[in-house]
Amino acid sequence: MHFTTKPVSLSAFALSLLSFAAPVTAEQVVVTSPCQGAVSPATAADMGRYLAGNWNMVAPGTGFTTGTNVGQVSLRFDEATSTLFMEGGGASVPLIPIGMTRNLGEAEPPVPNFDASIEALTPLGLSADEVALVSGCVNPARYWWSMSIGGNSSWGALAFIFEDAASGYMANSAGGSRQMQLSR
């Protein structure tokens, strides 16, 4: 048996290698920032996957609430429900997206009704324009949460200003409140 070889062009060889690569679909989104702009393809699920992981929390008291809570929280994305959860200290609460670019019509209002504006979520009450100037992001990913145990309730909100930092606050039905800063 005799084989003959024909010269193969480099472009033909490259094309043949590409046929073995996994296909890229339009649904695959790579999120590189918690910034949501008008042109961002990220959905709430994409952002949830991006933010999932361990975060360090520092939560100094405000008003008559004294002391600083320091600890770790986990953000976990549940694929079955497409929900981002914040977990720590034995509790798990869903984080509800506020105005995600692809989910504007689906955004639920905070319960109880509280201020989840950028100004309320930054320690110095920065305006949305000031946050955009500092972070380069006009619309950072924001989430609210609430939970009730017995007759007590607590709630809060977070804005993910940078890929490794979030700020917000939490409050409870007893009148306590804390600023929250998360970092990873």
169 within 8 A of 120, measured Cβ to Cβ: yes
pLDDT of 107: 55
Residue 151 has a pLDDT of 86
Segments in the chain below pLDDT 70: 1-29, 36-41, 99-112
Give the pLDDT of residue 11.
45
C-alpha–C-alpha distance, residues 167 and 141, integer Å: 11
* Structural domains of the chain, ranges and CATH numbers in brackets: 35-183 (2.40.128)
Q: CA-CA-CA-CA torsion for 76, 56, 109, 116, nearest 10 degrees?
A: -160
* pLDDT attached to residue 27: 56
Helix (H, G, I), strand (E, B) or coil at 146: strand
